C-alpha cells in the first residue's frame, strides 16, 4: 500500500479580484451549504454551493457558485460565482461574507444553512 502526500490544488473564483489557488489540505472546510434541483444530486440540472475554508494562520476563504449540474442545464444558462478572502476574520466578518456570496449566487436562504454549520462559539 502506498500513501500519497500529494496536495490537491483548487482554484477559487473571487469577487472583484483574480482567482486564487489554494492547497485544499491546508484550507479545510469549516462550514458549507449545498443545494441541487431534483431528487438526486447526480441528476441535477443546477447546483449551488457555499463553502468556508480556514487556513491554520486564521485566514478564511468564503466562496460559492451556481452552475450546471451533471444532468445538464438549458441552453444559454449562465451561472454565477463569488469569493472573499478574509485576512483577519472574526465570525461577524465571515457571516457577512457568506451573506454576500448567497446574494451573488441567487439563493439567500443558503446563507442561514451555511452559517448554522459553522463551528459553535463558546459564550
Asked if 31 and 117 count as a contact pair (C-beta separation under 8 A), the reply is yes
Asked if 26 and 32 count as a contact pair (C-beta separation under 8 A), the reply is no
Cell of 4: 500519497
pLDDT given at position 1:
42
Average pLDDT in the chain:
91
Could you tell me the end-to-end alpha-carbon distance of the chain, in angstroms, rounded to an integer? 46
Reported as a pLDDT band with limits 50, 70 and 90, residue 6 is low
When pLDDT is averaged across residues 47-64 and rounded to a whole number, the result is 96
8-state DSSP, 48? E
Query: Quick one: what percent of the chain has pLDDT higher than 70?
Result: 95
pLDDT given at position 3:
43
Reported as a pLDDT band with limits 50, 70 and 90, residue 98 is very high
Amino acid at each position: 500500500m502506498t500513501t500519497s502526500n500529494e496536495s490537491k490544488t483548487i482554484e477559487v473564483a473571487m469577487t472583484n479580484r483574480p482567482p486564487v489557488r489554494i492547497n485544499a489540505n491546508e484550507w479545510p472546510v469549516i462550514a458549507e451549504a449545498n443545494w441541487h434541483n431534483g431528487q438526486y444530486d447526480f441528476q441535477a440540472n443546477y447546483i449551488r454551493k457555499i463553502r468556508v475554508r480556514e487556513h491554520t494562520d486564521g485566514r478564511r476563504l468564503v466562496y460559492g457558485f451556481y452552475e450546471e449540474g451533471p444532468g445538464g442545464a438549458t441552453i444559454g444558462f449562465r451561472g454565477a460565482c463569488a469569493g472573499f478572502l478574509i485576512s483577519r476574520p472574526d465570525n461577524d466578518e465571515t457571516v457577512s461574507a457568506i451573506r454576500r456570496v448567497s446574494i451573488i449566487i441567487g439563493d439567500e436562504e443558503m446563507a442561514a444553512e451555511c452559517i448554522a454549520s459553522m463551528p459553535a462559539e463558546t459564550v
